[in-house]
Amino acid sequence: MDSVLFRCLPHASSHTAGGDFCRTRHCAAISYASSYGLNASCNKRKVQNEYNLRLRKPSLNHHYKGIGGGYTFQKYDMKFVVKATSEKSFGSESQAFDPKSVSDSVKNSLDAFYRFSRPHTVIGTALSIISVSLLAVEKISDISPLFFTGVLEAVVAALFMNIYIVGLNQLSDVEIDKINKPYLPLASGEYSFGTGVAIVSSFSILSFGLSWIVGSWPLFWALFVSFVLGTAYSINVPLLRWKRFAVLAAMCILAVRAVIVQLAFFLHMQTHVYKRPPVFSRPLIFATAFMSFFSVVIALFKDIPDIEGDKVFGIQSFSVRLGQKPVFWTCVTLLEIAYGVALLVGASSPCLWSKIFTGLGHAVLAAILWYQAKSVDLKSKASITSFYMFIWKLFYAEYLLIPFVR
């Protein structure tokens, strides 16, 4: 519009007739401009009012197209920010209350704790206590609610202490386990060091607390000796961390698995539950002797798959000092000797059913052990680890046979 006015003004001074015509056009242009300006102003105010009214509406999905590009941009910009915030909030809330997400979180937590507790040791502890408790049974009437209560007290307290011992070992071996057992929660980072300390402390308190409530001195001493030896085995302080020394490490495991478990838990049932005088029966002596062999084998064999990390951190296990192959076949030989002794014990039993179960059972286990040992690839860590787990299965099987020794 301004360009029309400026183009006409110069011609007004040079041409009369043209000037009149131009003046006429000039006036008309001014009149039109004024009229258009008023209309544009009205339209602008109308658009502004309409925009303001619509801006107050709660709906976020309303679409508005105005003449002024600035209004349209501001409207859409505000709409975008509000909508993004809303979607993020709704998304977070939906994820927080998603049942599948909660279920996965619970499963992951349980799986981490399962690995932290070292389940093969938990199963071994539970089976050994149940088996030894059955040695205190003298007649059918002894299998009563009192028996099950006594066994439950012993098993739960011992499992709490078992978790303390294996957990403390992991706390002391985080760097070693990053090489040997990277799947453990502390080594993998699933558990922080503080979380591990909290779990270990809690379970040790629970174990001693339960033994105090039960009031059984054999149970208390079983837990206390296990606590002391388990701490001395793992904790990295001067004069302790006995796992660094092969003989001391083997003696710790032998004392707990072979002596404490057999004698203390048997006496818990014999003296505390049944209120009978302490006795050391033939089956109890056999169980202690046989498990002494087995505990030595476990103490030696558990270091065979871990030789890499032990070398790096200066753990002088028999596997590091002598080599994997000699230690492997020493373990197999010791177990075969133990099975041979068990066959003789079974054959000398006055009970026919004891002869059958004890003799046949140990003969079968000895044959399976030899067959499995011949197929192990000593150059493969996976193969050695698998055989170590097989040793624990033989350990479980032995506790199924011990109650038949009479």
Q: What pTM was estimated for this model as a whole? A: 0.70
Report pLDDT digits (tens) over 34-55.
444 444 444 445 445 544 444 4
Reply yes or no on whether the pLDDT at 11 is more than 90: no
Q: Are 263 and 297 in contact (CB under 8 A)?
A: no
Nearest in space to 219 (alpha carbons), one of 290, 288, 279, 133: 133
Q: What percent of the chain has pLDDT over 70?
A: 76
Give the start-end residues of each E strand in 43-122: none
Nearest in space to 248 (alpha carbons), one of 224, 263, 232: 232
**What are the two backbone dihedrals, phi and then psi, of residue 110, each rounded to the nearest 5 degrees?**
-65, -40
Reply yes or no on whether the pLDDT at 398 is more than 60: yes
Report pLDDT digits (tens) over 175-193.
999 999 999 999 999 999 9
pLDDT, position 196 = 96
Which two tokens mark 145? 């609610």
Reply yes or no on whether the pLDDT at 22 is more than 80: no
How would residue 97 be classed by pLDDT, with cut points 50, 70 and 90?
A: low
Report pLDDT digits (tens) over 366-385.
999 999 999 999 989 899 99
pLDDT, position 199 = 97
Cα distance between residue 316 and residue 219, in whole Å? 33
Cα distance between residue 207 and residue 209, in whole Å? 5
Cα distance between residue 325 and residue 373, in whole Å? 11
Three-class secondary structure of residue 215 per DSSP: coil
How would residue 326 be classed by pLDDT, with cut points 50, 70 and 90?
A: very high
Q: Are 400 and 358 in contact (CB under 8 A)?
A: no
Which two tokens mark 272? 């505390």
Report pLDDT digits (tens) over 272-288.
999 999 988 888 999 99
Cα distance between residue 228 and residue 49, in whole Å? 83
**What are the two backbone dihedrals, phi and then psi, of residue 71, each rounded to the nearest 5 degrees?**
-65, -45
Reply yes or no on whether the pLDDT at 56 is more than 60: no
Report pLDDT digits (tens) over 207-240.
999 999 999 999 999 999 999 999 999 998 888 9
Cα distance between residue 187 and residue 192, in whole Å? 9
Higher-pLDDT residue of 64 and 102 is: 102
Report pLDDT digits (tens) over 105-149.
899 999 999 999 999 999 999 999 999 999 999 889 999 999 999
pLDDT, position 96 = 52
Reply yes or no on whether the pLDDT at 72 is more than 50: no
Three-class secondary structure of residue 251 per DSSP: helix
* Mean pLDDT to the nearest integer, 378-406: 92
* H or E element in which residue 115 lies: helix 99-116
Any bridge partners for residue 316, and if so which?
Answer: 245
- Sequential DSSP letters for 18-41: HHHHHHHHHHHHHHHHHHHHHHHH
* Mean pLDDT to the nearest integer, 152-171: 97
